[in-house]
Amino acid sequence: MIIIGEKINGTIPKVGKAIEERDEAYIRDLAIKQAEAGAHYIDVCAGVAPEQEEEVLLWLMDIVQDAVDTPLCIDSPNPRMIEKVFSRAKKPGIVNSVSAEGDKMEVLYPLIQGTEWQVIALTCDNKGIPSDVDTRVNIARQMIDEAAKYDITPDRIHIDPLVMALSADNQSMIKFLETLKRVKELYPTVKITSGLSNISFSMPLRRVINQHFFCLAIYAGMDSAIMDPLNRHMMATLLATQALLGRDRYCRNFSNAYRKGIIGPKLEERKKK
Ligand code: THG
């Protein structure tokens, strides 16, 4: 599972405050902790007014790249903003995101053409976010076929089927899994990604819903997750599920994560016997 650490996001109140105060140490710490917990990419999302976004994104990118070697996932709804800050990245990461909306693909595909950058592609278009599987698969197909014109192969594309809240659509996860299966039938090397917390919106015990969604999505073959790697419950779900599915030889990853305190009680809370 490719872990995209989501914690450096200005829409999280504490992070928003740290951005406002330009608290470099706070952001740095989040980058290091996520990398240590196993993040393969560090998402940076400014979550501020458009006038400030460029400055804040560059500030975040510089801090993360100074703190860790983990590549970035540049997160902005505005393709021109990603274009503006792109050259500040020291190594190839992930562009988050394109969709079939407006001129996003026209702006972002040429940017990553001929590079090793990957891209997250949301299954929405000018009509919004479809709730049915057919439209999602068609949008995914359209985005992957358009990418081919820029020599961007399917293995560099993470399709994000934009999971709806289960409380709003009882078939939400089923539709996600069906989209995953159908897109992979068409393009076996494409990656499927998702945020893990939308599913439980407005429900009690969100953590339980998120963990079990994750478990089933892993089983179905999800390739990457935009998640909080500091959430020990979520990481335990990931490691336990991989082990149960025979994807963790000798349960080594599970055991190592426990030993390092990534899952289970924090190291400082374990009593010496
Ligand atoms: N798809 C894509 N990009 C995305 C999303 C997506 N970017 C933004 C968002 N969704 C993913 N990022 C976040 C960031 C923070 C939280 C949720 C989604 C969040 N964090 C809490 C915190 O850090 O305090 C709690 C996290 C927890 O413990 O689980 O709520 O869907 N392509």
Contacts 24+ apart (CB under 8 A), 76-80: 76/45, 76/46, 78/50, 78/53, 79/103, 79/104, 79/107, 79/108, 80/107
Question: Which residue shows structure tokens 């159908």?
Answer: 182
- Which pLDDT score, from 0 to 100, does residue 239 have? 98
Does the pLDDT value for residue 139 go beyond 90?
yes
Evaluate whether 74 touches 39 at the Cβ level (below 8 Å). Answer: no
- Going by C-alpha positions, the residue among 228, 226, 100, 219 that lies closest to residue 163 is 226
Q: Say yes or no: CB of residue 9 within 6 Å of ligand 1.
A: yes
What digits encode the pLDDT tens for the residues 52-61? 999 999 999 9
Q: Which atom of ligand 1 is nearest to the CA of 231?
A: 28
Stated as kind and residue range, the H or E segment containing 176 is helix 172-186
User: Residue 151 Cα, ligand 1 centroid: separation in angstroms?
Assistant: 30
Task: Please tell me the chain's helix, strand, coil percentages from 3-state DSSP, rounded to the nearest 5.
Answer: 50, 15, 35
The CATH superfamily of 2-209 is Dihydropteroate synthase-like (3.20.20.20)
Evaluate whether 209 touches 241 at the Cβ level (below 8 Å). Answer: no
What digits encode the pLDDT tens for the residues 188-247? 999 999 999 999 999 999 999 999 999 999 999 999 999 999 999 999 999 999 999 999
Evaluate whether 29 touches 59 at the Cβ level (below 8 Å). Answer: no
* Rounded mean pLDDT, 5-34: 98
Distance CA 1, CA 6 (A): 15
Does the pLDDT value for residue 120 go beyond 80?
yes
Across the chain, mean pLDDT equals 97
- Which pLDDT score, from 0 to 100, does residue 200 have? 98
Does the pLDDT value for residue 119 go beyond 90?
yes
In this structure, is the dihedral angle defined by the CA atoms of residues 202, 208, 210 and 216, taken in order, positive or negative? negative
Top pLDDT among 272 and 32 is at 32
What digits encode the pLDDT tens for the residues 241-263? 999 999 999 999 999 999 999 99
SS3 (DSSP) at 77: coil
Other CB atoms within a 10 A radius of the CB of residue 22 amount to 11
pLDDT above 90 coverage of the chain, percent: 99
Token digits of residue 257: 């994560």
Q: Say yes or no: CB of residue 96 within 6 Å of ligand 1.
A: yes
Question: Which residue shows structure tokens 């989501």?
Answer: 6
Distance CA 230, CA 189 (A): 29
Domain ranges of the chain: 2-209
Does the pLDDT value for residue 272 go beyond 80?
no
Q: Say yes or no: CB of residue 241 within 6 Å of ligand 1.
A: no
Report CA-CA distances (Å) from 138 to 142, 146, 186, 242, 271.
6, 12, 11, 30, 54
CA 128, distance to chain mean position in Å, is 20
Q: Which atom of ligand 1 is nearest to the CA of 120?
A: 32
Q: Say yes or no: CB of residue 160 within 6 Å of ligand 1.
A: yes
Q: Say yes or no: CB of residue 226 within 6 Å of ligand 1.
A: yes
- Which pLDDT score, from 0 to 100, does residue 4 have? 98
* Rounded mean pLDDT, 168-195: 98
Tell whether pTM > 0.95: yes
Evaluate whether 64 touches 42 at the Cβ level (below 8 Å). Answer: yes
- Which pLDDT score, from 0 to 100, does residue 273 have? 59
- Which pLDDT score, from 0 to 100, does residue 271 have? 75
SS3 (DSSP) at 201: coil
* Rounded mean pLDDT, 100-115: 98
* Strands 2-9 and 41-45, bridge-based pairing: parallel
What digits encode the pLDDT tens for the residues 40-82? 999 999 999 999 999 999 999 999 999 999 999 999 999 999 9
Q: Say yes or no: CB of residue 7 within 6 Å of ligand 1.
A: yes
Which residue has a Cα nearest atom 24 of ligand 1? 12
